[in-house]
Amino acid sequence: MSDEATSCEPKRAARAGGREARRAMRAAPLAEHIRPVRAGLPGGQYKALTEAGMAKIHAAALEALEVIGLSQAPESGVEIMTGAGAVLGDDGRLRFPRALVEDMLAVAARDLTLHGRDSKHDLHLTGTNVHFGTAGAAVHVVDLETNTYRDSTAQDLHDAARITHHLDNVHFFQRAMVARDVLDNLEMDLNTIYACVSATTKHIGTSFSDPSHVQPCMDLIHRLAGGEEAWRARPFISNSNCFVVPPMKFAEESCVTMEHCIRAGMPVLLLSAGQAGATAPAPIALAIVQAVAECLAGVVYVNAMKPGHPAVFGTWPFVSDLRTGAMSGGSAEQALLTAGCAQMHRFYNLPGGAAAGISDSKLPDMQAGWEQGITNVLAGLSGLNMVYESVGMHASLLGFCLESLVLGDDILGQVLRCVRGIDVTEDSTSIEAMKQVCLGGPGHYLGSDQTLSLMQTEYVYPTLGNRMSPKEWVEAERPILIDKAIKRKNEILAKAGLQVDPQLDAAIRKDYNIYFR
């Protein structure tokens, strides 16, 4: 071997070592504050409504509350709301004077934090901060092994929460499926809570099938929290409460449940879920008017009972395909409805939530991709605080897919990058890098110090998405996206540990009939 060849070897080794060091550095987790995307990025760049449009919707909602009002409030609710100034008519409808609504808005909770059991997962619902998560009550699981739908179980719910715990771009876990293998309703509510809490330390949303179930479920929650005092200091579960049955009726049992949750110190999601063209008006603007009116009634209800109690303004209108009357959760109209609702949350400066990411497709295919991408990106760009149902939901909320949950994490990474927008600073607009490349330099930016320094902080890369060339794809034996999603799902489940102390888990399993492993 020549001396020249020998002298080259250390140089090659040094370059290789440098590349390996850079690869290792890129593979290491980034500090939270320099990650390109993260929970709570501010949105608000997109505005589906003008200032005048928001004012008209607000005025129409106040008129609806004064003139139409809501029917079927429980006796306890009538007492609470009339005590604050609502008027019970001879027709049994509660009507809300404008001054009452304004007074309750003045004391409503703002800049709300929804806690995780681990504080690193706290969700700060202020301004246009955006957070994505699950929700829904799917009754089926999409089985990609057979491309069929089967009944969802407590184990499926637990597995979905375990997967969510390991997904960076899914920031909270609200119950996404009904545990249909648990036939007793109280046991179902208990299993739902424990399936979620034992799987993730992110914030959790649940619901109760009966008001009488709140207290026994709170007993379990206090055990998980380390006592009632610790729970009240950092409530890590919120109650998803359909307190209204659109159009403009209270849901009596849900209202009583909400009252119990408020007394127990549990944050509530005031959820109005009308369907435009069916249980809500067909015009998109008027569907928002009804949802806003119903949720303003909820603001009065909650704050007349306990001023400043943590509540999320859950205008959650859906869309009908007017040809059939069926729900169309993945439509452009759904994206606009959600974006408009997000603006109304900002109009009132209230923490708000709505739905996006729902697919009408039965499987995680191209249709699901465009439906989830369009609705989620508009929700994020509109500055929606809590984007519910953003991953995993198929068949217009009837089916949940674990592989789609994993794929959705990739979608949300790209959505969050859109939400973050373009950083325009002195450094990012300096032409120094251009001068170095163009004036006697290599003529490209590959490998430049600036490019390398921004690889992780300016750009987001898909975990499962395929960016190979056709040649590379063939050489890799033509990997299929769904197969990669199945593999990643199984890898996460294989490593996902229990998120409660094993001794506490054993004690809970002794005292309760737990349906999952």
User: 80: phi > 0 → left, psi -120 to 50 → alpha, else beta; which?
Assistant: alpha
Q: How far is CA 37 from CA 30, 170, 171, in A?
A: 11, 11, 12
Q: Using DSSP, state whether 257 is helix, strand or coil.
A: helix
Is residue 315 assigned to a domain? yes
Structure tokens at 366: 């191209």
Q: How far is CA 166 from CA 121, 137, 202, 415, 447, in A?
A: 12, 22, 10, 18, 32
Lowest mean pLDDT among 17-21, 461-465, 475-479: 17-21
Is residue 14 assigned to a domain? no
Buried b (16+ CB within 10 A) or exposed e, 75-106: eebbebbeebebeeeeeebbbbeeebbebbbe
pLDDT value of residue 26: 58
pLDDT, tens digit, 9 for 90 and up, residues 105-126: 999 999 999 999 999 999 999 9
Q: Are 267 and 205 in contact (CB under 8 A)?
A: no
Give yes or no for residue 6 having a pLDDT over 50: no
Q: How many domains does the chain have?
A: 1
Is residue 37 assigned to a domain? no
Is residue 262 assigned to a domain? yes
- DSSP states of 475-504: HTT---HHHHHHHHHHHHHHH---SS-HHH
pLDDT, tens digit, 9 for 90 and up, residues 217-259: 999 999 999 999 999 999 999 999 999 999 999 999 999 999 9
pLDDT, tens digit, 9 for 90 and up, residues 394-422: 999 999 999 999 999 999 999 999 999 99
Residue 273 is part of a domain; what is its CATH number? 3.20.20.480
Per the model's pLDDT, the better-predicted residue between 436 and 27 turns out to be 436
Give yes or no for residue 1 having a pLDDT over 90: no
pLDDT value of residue 456: 87
pLDDT, tens digit, 9 for 90 and up, residues 306-360: 999 999 999 999 999 999 988 999 999 999 999 999 999 999 999 999 999 999 9
| Cis peptide bond prior to 351, omega within 30° of 0 | no
- Residues in a beta bridge with 354: 387
Is residue 478 assigned to a domain? no
Of 108, 118, 106, 113, nearest to 129 by C-alpha is 113
Is residue 109 assigned to a domain? yes
pLDDT, tens digit, 9 for 90 and up, residues 134-160: 999 999 999 998 999 999 999 999 999
Per the model's pLDDT, the better-predicted residue between 221 and 2 turns out to be 221
Angle at which helices 214-225 and 502-511 cross, to 10°? 160
Lowest mean pLDDT among 56-65, 85-94, 200-209, 439-448: 439-448
Mean pLDDT for the chain overall: 94
pTM over 0.85: yes
Is residue 65 assigned to a domain? no
pLDDT value of residue 496: 94
Query: What is the pLDDT averaged over residues 487-493?
Result: 97
- Percent of the chain past pLDDT 70, that is, above it, reads 94
Is residue 482 assigned to a domain? no
pLDDT value of residue 19: 60
Q: β-pairing, 140-143 with 148-151?
A: antiparallel
The residue segments making up the domain with residue 213 are: 103-420
In which band, very low, low, confident or very high, does the pLDDT at 35 lie, cut at 50, 70 and 90?
A: confident
